[in-house]
Structure 1
């Protein structure tokens, strides 16, 4: 059984107050909260076996290495990667995207084309613009419609033998739209292009199977799925990771070093230069265990209830407009009140203990499409409740009354 009140007890921060009011945390798309189990894993590492990994012969180093590599195996199993060395530990989604973009600099030539979507986070736009500047490749964009969905017929028209790479998010962080990545991947492969999917917003809601998707690269951040900040994962097919040059040079990623020549280590170490976020990686594994123990089907069903309830309640407010109305979306509601700046609403909601995100959500092209400065974004997780949504709705009503 899914019992949200029992689950909420796992999250210490949900018991606190903000500005004298019980915290209502609706900024989950920016970062999720951390359960005690994951906090305990962090404390355990620093209390009992804090040591550097892979190179030490002493007991603490071996224990830390075992725990870190166990976490890699948990991540491999969760995303169903074929091999554990296809899992590259990173500092987060942005790191993973930049790693791939850097590697493709030597594989692209002038006139090649790469495709991104209009729904992307800046982290899945800027690195590819920089790649195009370095390589002479041309950036193409899949347009969006008024519902916040990609125009797939336009994607068909963009694809050609010149297309070498396609980049798209699994779920839009700004609108909650779930993109048809299965079709996007299949069509890209038909013209010989590789595909990178930004799974940062999908990983807390969807258990992505990278083999079933046949995706070439998939990137996530642990802090989106109840883990710590500063750690994430890049999945890459072995054949692609073998082609790409190292992103950084340093310790750990080498086989032999001399002043005449350096040879690189095999996967995954080739892309993991320097001391990693050992504690973060171990806690990432603990977070994956925690979410799988609850069950992603249960999480999805409950969050869909929250989304439908919040959408219905918010639309009762006259002058409120929701942006992103795709039939296929996750638990994100982006909205504005007519004639009122989103920042002002967010500031007043904070005074009432309600945490939402305001602005363009690092997705400025989406806001430009709708000709707005930004939105108020309420994003829900499996530990939120309908009663909290009622608090949000009453807060928005109060803000409207005060600011109109």
Structure 2
């Protein structure tokens, strides 16, 4: 009985609590809970300035749409090389004269010392002759110079240092021959570009000279296309393309071992299409046999002439090879009609007399000289600057 009463009491307590809870929940005058307001989206200052007057009194709960964030374009992984602006060719040899003087001054000092002696007997004249021959002036030009100097010295009698220097300068200049036409034919003909064919043995700096010549012409305001027709050396085409990219010149190349004449033809065609001033074609420099060389260079020239004329055939010679370079020059002279010589490495251990002997042997002028390893160290040859550098101040 007691247990039954306990259950009844518990049930009654639970019922009372439940009724009380409902009364509190639904009692008269209770207000509903306010709705949860979403967070406001921030307004950017520039958008605030564009909002019309009263736009801030927006309906409750309104939102503002932001523009998508600005996405910056990703930087390229490989940057294009910066195009350089080379200096003009004018005055280059004057600026590089000190380099030439350092390498050639021994010859000038030796000759001046010999000619300044009180007594010029046969032994002294033999020394003068030996100095000139050892400087690669060549036997025939040396004999002409020595004979002329002996005659002039006899006429003068006594000689001051200035007179001796004047005599030697006069004779050296006469042998270098300042009257030769050293103009580079690089002017376009109407709609057709000038074409320069660069020939020479590998190792003389032929491809480098081609690239430096392109820089020089671009420095003078000309547009240039390069033709990598030395298809037997992939490194030569790569090197030439690098030279072109540095100054903004297009390089036409073909497959390794491909037809050089085809590359030369395509280079000239591109030059015509792009209306450039000059096309420079670098050719292979293999002295395998004279017949093979003649066939290859002859074909390149004939194919080019279907599109344009070949205005210059520049033979690149290494001045340090001396008389060996002369033999190479003669082989090329027999194969193609050389119009000018580019003499490289004249600032090194070269003997400056090579300028005199190569011009005399080939009958063509030295038009360009390389006076250093820098990209702008190729200069138009100036006979007077050259002779003055040999003799010093």
TM over 0.5: no
Instruction: Give TM-score, length-normalised by structure 1.
Output: 0.33
More helix by share: 2
Greater C-alpha radius of gyration: 2
More strand by share: 1
